[in-house]
Amino acid sequence: MIAVARGDGPRVLPGSLLTLRRKCGKPGFLCATGSPHETPALSFSVGVRTKMFALLPDEVPVAATGVTRYPEVAPSR
Ligand SMILES: [Zn+2]
């Protein structure tokens, strides 16, 4: 599990959900013919760095909830 589940505070993520698209390069896979794999992921900033986690399907709703709640509690930048 990712950082989403850690800590005892509210599950708030200063990040955004995105979809990674990549090609593994293996012949015979759809990606080889122009249809890249789509992987849900969460990106967020830690200091000046941006971290990215690939999400398991059952982690997406958790991450989405965290991202959605973030604007409610975070000071505006
Ligand atoms: Zn592939």
| Ligand 1 center from residue 24 Cα (angstroms) | 4
- Give the model's pLDDT for residue 31: 92
Looking at the 3D structure of the chain, how many domains does it have?
1
Q: What's the Cα-to-Cα distance from 5 to each of 22, 57, 66, rounded to whole Å? A: 26, 15, 10
| Ligand 1 center from residue 59 Cα (angstroms) | 22
Closest CA to 52 of 21, 22, 24, 17: 17
| Ligand 1 center from residue 4 Cα (angstroms) | 28
65 is in which domain, residue-wise? 3-73
How does pLDDT run along the chain (77 residues), one tens digit per residue? Answer: 445 555 555 556 678 889 999 999 888 888 998 899 999 998 888 888 888 889 998 888 888 887 776 656 555 55
| Ligand 1 center from residue 39 Cα (angstroms) | 11
| Ligand 1 center from residue 47 Cα (angstroms) | 33
Do 22 and 31 form a contact (C-beta atoms < 8 A)? yes
State which H helix or E strand residue 68 sits in. helix 60-73
- Give the model's pLDDT for residue 41: 92
- pTM assigned to the model: 0.58
